[in-house]
Every structure is written in C-alpha cells, then in structure tokens.
Amino acid sequence: MTDDPGGAPTPYIPNTGADQAIMLERLGLERVEQLFDQLPAQYRDPEIELPRRLSEAELVGAMRRRAAANRDGDRPSFLGAGAYRRFVPAVVQHLVSRSEFVTSYTPYQPEISQGTLQAAFEYQSVVCELTGMDVSNTGMYDAASATAEACLLAARVTKRQAVAVLEPLHPHTLEVIRAYGAGSDLRVDVVTSAAELSEEHACLVAQQPDFLGRIRDVEPLARAAHDAGALCVVAADPFALGVLRAPGDAGADIVTGEGRDLAGPLNFGGPSLGLFAARNHFLRQMPGRIVGRTKELHGADGREPRTGYVLTLQAREQFIRRSRATSNFSTGQALVALAFTIAVQALGPVGLRCSAELCYQRAHHAAARIDALPGFTVRDTGPWFQEFLVAGPLPPEELSLRLAERGIQAGLDVSGRPEPETDGALLFCVTEATPDEHIDALVQALSDISEGRHA
C-alpha cells in the first residue's frame, strides 16, 4: 500500500507521493486534477446516488429477497433449439470446483500446467471418439463460431470462395457463418438439397439432427460434397451421437458441435463450448490449439521416463506470422471443456447411449400423447430425436401465452420459417431430464385448451 500526494493510502496506484510529484514537475503541473481540465466541469467527479452501505448480513438478506422474486428455474419448459436440459452427473460439479481447475487458462508453461494440459488432451480424445474424427482442438467459443471456422478452413483448403449451407440449420449458426464470411469475402449460399452444390462451393454444411429435430442421413450428403470437390461439415449434437452414427464414419471431413449442455445447467445462456474435430490432413489448417502427449527422453535418477503433455499446435496470429495464421481465435473454454469431458467419461459409452435412448423414448412418448389430443397434431417430418413440431387449434403465439398463464414454457415458435411443415407450428423439445410431471402438466394444459377450458 502506498500514499498519494495528500497522504491518503491507496492500494490501487503503485507510485508513491514522491513519484507523482516528479511526474507532475516533468509535465509542468502542480496538481493531478489539472490533467482533467480539458473535461467539461459537469462531467468531473459527478455525484453518484448510491444506497447506504450494508453490513454483510444485510446484504445477504437483500440478495435472498431479490433471488426469491425470480421464477422457479424448475418450471416446466419445452424449449430446445440448440440449448437442452441434460442430466449431468453430480461428480462434474464436484471436480470442476477444485481449486486447480477454477482458474484454468492457457497453459503457456507446460512444466507447471500438466494437469490442465492432460485435461485438454482427454477432452480431445473424447471428442474424437464421439465424432469419428482423427484430431480435435481444445475447444472453441460455441458451435456457431466453430462451424464458421470450419467454413473458413474449407475455403483455405479448396481455394474456393463460396460455401453451401443446407437448411434447416440453426439460424444463429447461419448468422455467424455469414458474419465470418463477410470478413473473408466468402459467399454463403443457403440450399435445400445437396444437389444444389457446384464446383464453386468449398463445403456443404449440415446439422445433425437438423434445426427442426430431424435425423439426417449424413453419408449421401458427404458423397455429394465430395463429388463436387467440396468438404462435408457436420454440426452435430454430441449427446445425440450416443445413438446416432458418428459423422466421421459417414464420410464427414469436419465435425463441430455444442458441448455446453453436458457440462452443467444452462445458466441463462453462457459460457458455451464449441467442438471442432477434423481429418488428420487438415491438422495444420485447424484453428485454436491442440495438446499432444509425449515422453521424456531419459528418466532422471534411474527412474522410467515420465509422460508429459505439451501444446503442439498454436496456429493463431499471436504466435505465428499473420499471413500464415489460420484464425484469430483466442481463448479456449477450458473449464467448460473439462466439465464436458468429466460428464462424458462418467457416463461412459454405455451410459451415454442409455441416456440418449431414454431421451428419444421420452420425447416420442410425449409426442404421442400430444398427437392424441383433439385439435393437436404432431407433424410427420420423418425420423427425429428429441424435438418435434406441434400444430394446435390456436395460433402459435396465442398457444404460447395460454401455456405461460399456467406456468409452462411452450416450444419455440417456428411458424415464420420457409419450410411448409413449420406453418402454424411450435417446436417442442423433451429430453431425458424432462420430469414426468412436467410432461403430464403440459398434456393436461393442452387438453384443457383444446376443450376451451381456461387456467
């Protein structure tokens, strides 16, 4: 702690009163306040109306009263569209709360970051197993930015300046692809069939399951992309890959995805975790970082050589010449990636498959109950995983309001989309973590609405 020229202690300013006097003399000033003379008087030290300070006990009480005004986070909700409530093993929160992980950041010094590096290596291994890819980076901002980076990689590899996006794709992902493309002179074409691919396109981007919940057959899409000399990029739900064929096994070249849901509660949006995995021959074009595993050449004091983890690829412009950088992507979501890794490994292959099967069965059971109600129809869109389109006797906006009056969050209103099957429909989502009583409450509410009963 040091003193300012007036003698008042301050823990924030690192120079002493004598230091400040020397600086003022060099500047030809007498007081620090003179540095701010160019600011209009009304903007200097304005009065700030703050409430009286509270003791710790008073503050805790005030925060509890405010928190009590929030709606119960466990109220029935059937929103999905890219953000899903999942069962997350209790061990996840316990382990990520350990002190060695809560400040997890870029491990520039591997000799003191072995735990963080090993966690990143394990994450990469999990992602490769799920996606059927050869190599994964250590994580990205979210699925949208990861998919946009995949488009940029495809453009670099193929030397083409257009990408084809197969609808229905999450609209936020499409927006981010367009934003990234605008900065790279990359044309973004929205297509409804792989047959629309041409020799101008660097890649075909498809979502698995798609934005409306339908399960895609990736293999013919990959074949069509390769026939056009393009790459196949699949934005996949890693949870759904517990039962669906790995995109890599179906011919995909790059797989992206969102890992936040398996890392913990949704927490009003963020942070997220973007998965990015690719074939080996795209390794040096990948954005972000890759952690590798090696061994010492010789063990000290006669012991066996130890295993070590190191950053083996850092292809962003902070580390190499800008002209050779693949991306300006910076921070990896290390803590979220760790939670995702723990969750997947705690469930294991069998547990993940069982959870995904439960999700599928619960969603289809709920859909069958809704479809049996007078005035309600579950649109037949082909095989789907956990999201389904519901049309009812009321317009989507009015139906959502009627359910909200009963404390139920309806599905997403997708009636404005171009697909014919979305006309007048809501996109409902049911997962393995949706309680039976929430499904019962929804079915009862819809039944009351169909019979004209009010809340």
Show me where the domains of the chain are located. Answer: 90-343, 348-450
Average pLDDT over residues 20-44: 89
Average pLDDT over residues 368-387: 94
162: Cα separation from own chain's centroid: 25
Question: Mean pLDDT lowest for which of 98-112, 377-391, 398-412, 426-440?
Answer: 98-112
The answer on pLDDT for 6 being more than 60 is: no
**Tens of pLDDT along 338-371?**
999 999 999 999 999 999 999 999 999 999 999 9
Question: Mean pLDDT lowest for which of 62-71, 191-200, 260-269, 399-408?
Answer: 260-269
Tokens of 83: 């953000």
The answer on pLDDT for 3 being more than 50 is: no
The pLDDT of residue 322 is: 58
Round to whole Å and give the CA distance between 274 and 138: 9
The answer on pLDDT for 397 being more than 50 is: yes
The answer on pLDDT for 304 being more than 70 is: yes
Q: Which CATH architecture has domain 348-450?
A: Alpha-Beta Complex (3.90)
pLDDT band at 452 (very low <50, low <70, confident <90, very high): confident
Return the higher-pLDDT residue of 37 and 12.
Answer: 37
**Cα–Cα distances in angstroms (integers) from residue 375 to residues 214, 392, 400, in the given order:** 23, 6, 15
The pLDDT of residue 316 is: 55
Average pLDDT over residues 387-403: 94
Q: Which CATH architecture has domain 90-343?
A: 3-Layer(aba) Sandwich (3.40)
Return the higher-pLDDT residue of 275 and 32.
Answer: 275
Average pLDDT over residues 215-232: 96
Which residues contact residue 388 at a Cβ distance below 8 angstroms, ignoring those fewer than 6 apart? Answer: 213, 363, 367, 378, 379, 381, 427, 428
Average pLDDT over residues 198-218: 96
The pLDDT of residue 1 is: 40
The pLDDT of residue 329 is: 60
Kindly report whether the peptide bond that precedes residue 5 is cis, defined as omega within 30 degrees of 0. Answer: no
What is this structure's pTM? 0.82
Average pLDDT over residues 277-298: 88
Nearest Cα to Cα of residue 384 among 444, 439, 427: 427
Name the percent of the chain lying above pLDDT 70.
Answer: 89
Angle between helices 171-183 and 143-158 (to 10 degrees): 40
Round to whole Å and give the CA distance between 204 and 305: 46
The pLDDT of residue 114 is: 79
Phi, psi of 16 (to 5 degrees): -80, 170
* Average pLDDT of the residues of the chain: 88
The answer on pLDDT for 446 being more than 60 is: yes
Kindly report whether the peptide bond that precedes residue 374 is cis, defined as omega within 30 degrees of 0. Answer: no
The answer on pLDDT for 254 being more than 50 is: yes
